[in-house]
């Protein structure tokens, strides 16, 4: 209770401590999240993804500065589920070098896969909730756009920004394969380099082929994040997207969908835990072996286990 109250009183150290508890899946964290739930739902959550080295961290740093000049408070979560050696500088390092590091209205947290027991997407979602309850106006999540874990991370966001750059012929393929569908705004960063306009045209052509059903047409913007160019337009586009989500009713619709997913995830975890508490490891292994040996089918086996907690399906 004390920690949740401290969050509402904007105690930054309590926030940092609670985030660690969330990452470790502790009981105290759940208790705090329970209390804080009614204080969430006010932040605009932005996911920023794309291939390593494209300039995500630089864009995040610039966006945060622009937000501060608009008097908005900022939370930043940097997620790297893959490896620390993905090319670009670690966000923490980049921010530490910038004037944001001393701004008490910018809260920065890096997350790895280690410690995230329920999966990195789940831990990130809870950390974002804490930042939301704390009262951050905008929350920026940076993650490398390469795999399913990262796509799951980005799904937490209201607005997804895909960052790419000119050159590197292959990475447009990577974007196409994985994350093209989830982009609300596309950015060609490093617009100081040759090939920028071609990359913009490629993206626009790909977008023409895709999502025709939505009334939101993802814009393709050019930035030179290193020099802060195009950042105002990018932030304006993100805010237009959020407004569109609200006006179209999609924001609340997606909120309900997300809550349903969360509800079933919690229920699933609770049932699993209840079963695991009742059945010892040896028995679980034996049952799994019998399924593998085709001595019993998994439906019957599951029903046997569910019977131990009174949830078996009656014939």
Footprint on residues 182-211 left by ligand GDP (CB under 6 A):
189-190, 192-193
Closest separation between CB of residue 222 and ligand GDP, Å? Answer: 9
Distance CA 305, CA 275 (A): 7
Closest contact distance (angstroms) between CB of 81 and Mg ion is 13
Q: Which is nearer to ligand GDP, 139 or 225 (CB)?
A: 225
Q: Is 53 one of the binding residues for ligand GDP (CB under 6 A)?
A: yes
How far is it, in rounded angstroms, from Cα 79 to Cα 82? 9
Report the residue closest to ligand GDP, judged by CB. 88
Identity of the residue, 89 or 263, whose beta carbon is nearer to ligand GDP in the bound complex: 89
Strand order in the sheet with 159-164: 106-111, 74-79, 138-144, 44-50, 159-164, 185-188, 220-222
Kindly state whether residue 46 participates in binding ligand GDP, applying the rule CB under 6 A: no
Interaxial angle between packed helices 12-23 and 27-36, expressed in degrees from 0 to 180 and rounded to the nearest 10: 120
Number of residues interacting with Mg ion: please give it, by CB under 5 A. 3
Smallest separation, CB 185 to ligand GDP (Å): 15
Cα separation of 282 and 277, whole Å? 13
Going 260 to 261 to 262 to 266, the CA torsion angle's sign is positive
Compute CA distances 282 → 272, 273, 279, 285, whole Å: 16, 16, 8, 5
* Cβ-based nearer residue to Mg ion, 90 or 271: 90
Does position 81 bind ligand GDP by CB under 6 A? no
* Closer CB to Mg ion, 93 or 181, in the complex: 93
CB of 280 to ligand GDP, least distance (A): 46
Cβ burial of 299 (10 Å; 0-12, 13-18, 19+) is exposed
The residue from 55, 75, 81, 218 that contacts ligand GDP (CB under 6 A) is 55
**Does the footprint of Mg ion cover residue 56 (CB under 5 A)?**
yes
Q: Which stretch binds ligand GDP (CB under 6 A): 50-58, 123-131, 202-210, 266-274?
A: 50-58
The single residue among 47, 54, 75, 166 that binds ligand GDP, judged by CB under 6 A, is 54
- Three-class HEC string of 1-19: CHHHHHHHCCCHHHHHHHH
Instruction: List, as own/partner pairs, every contact residues 262-269 make where C-beta atoms lie below 8 angstroms and the sequence separation is at least 24, other chains included.
Output: 262/125, 265/122, 269/118
Establish if 93 lies at the interface with ligand GDP (CB under 6 A): no
Element containing residue 299 per DSSP (H, E): helix 298-307
* Phi then psi dihedrals of residue 247, to 5 deg: -65, -35
* Nearer to ligand GDP among residue 6 and residue 58 (C-beta): 58
CB neighbour burial string for 155-171, b if at least 16 within 10 angstroms, e if fewer: ebbbbbbbbbbbeeeeb
Rule CB under 5 A: say whether 88 interacts with Mg ion.
yes
Candidates 25, 35, 40, 52; binder of ligand GDP (CB under 6 A) is 52
Span from 114-122, 148-156, 219-227, 279-287 in contact with ligand GDP (CB under 6 A): 219-227
Sole window of 80-88, 168-176, 260-268, 270-278 interacting with Mg ion (rule: CB under 5 A): 80-88
Residue 45: both structure tokens together: 């959550």
Which residue, 57 or 73, has its beta carbon nearer to ligand GDP? 57
Q: Which residues bind Mg ion (CB under 5 A)?
A: 56-57, 88
């Amino acid at each position: 209770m004390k920690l949740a109250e401290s969050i509402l009183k904007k105690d930054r150290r309590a926030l940092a401590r609670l985030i660690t508890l969330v990452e470790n899946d502790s009981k105290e964290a759940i208790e705090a999240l329970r209390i804080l739930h009614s204080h969430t739902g006010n932040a605009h959550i932005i996911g920023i993804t794309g291939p390593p080295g494209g300039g995500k961290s630089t864009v995040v740093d610039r966006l945060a500065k622009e937000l501060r000049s608009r008097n908005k408070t900022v939370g930043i979560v940097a997620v790297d589920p893959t490896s620390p050696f993905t090319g670009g500088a670690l966000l923490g390092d980049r921010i530490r070098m910038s004037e944001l590091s001393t701004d008490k209205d910018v809260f920065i947290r890096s997350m790895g896969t280690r410690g995230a027991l329920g999966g990195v997407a789940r831990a990130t979602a809870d950390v974002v909730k804490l930042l939301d309850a704390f009262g951050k106006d905008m929350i920026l999540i940076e993650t490398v756009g390469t795999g399913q874990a990262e796509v799951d991370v980005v799904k937490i966001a209201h607005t997804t920004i895909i960052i790419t750059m000119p050159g590197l012929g292959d990475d447009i393929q990577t974007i196409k394969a994985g994350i093209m569908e989830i982009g609300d705004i596309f950015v060609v960063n490093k617009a100081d380099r040759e090939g920028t306009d071609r990359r913009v045209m490629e993206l626009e052509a790909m977008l023409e082929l895709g999502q025709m059903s939505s009334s939101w047409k993802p814009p393709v913007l050019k930035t030179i994040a290193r020099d802060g160019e195009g950042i105002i337009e990018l932030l304006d586009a993100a805010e237009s997207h959020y407004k569109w989500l609200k006006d179209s009713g999609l924001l609340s619709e997606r909120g309900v969908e997300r809550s349903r997913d969360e509800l079933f995830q919690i229920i699933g975890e609770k049932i699993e835990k209840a079963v695991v508490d009742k059945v010892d490891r040896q028995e679980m292994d034996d049952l799994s072996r019998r399924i593998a040996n085709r001595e019993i089918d998994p439906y019957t086996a599951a029903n046997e286990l569910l019977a131990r907690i009174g949830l078996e399906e009656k014939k």
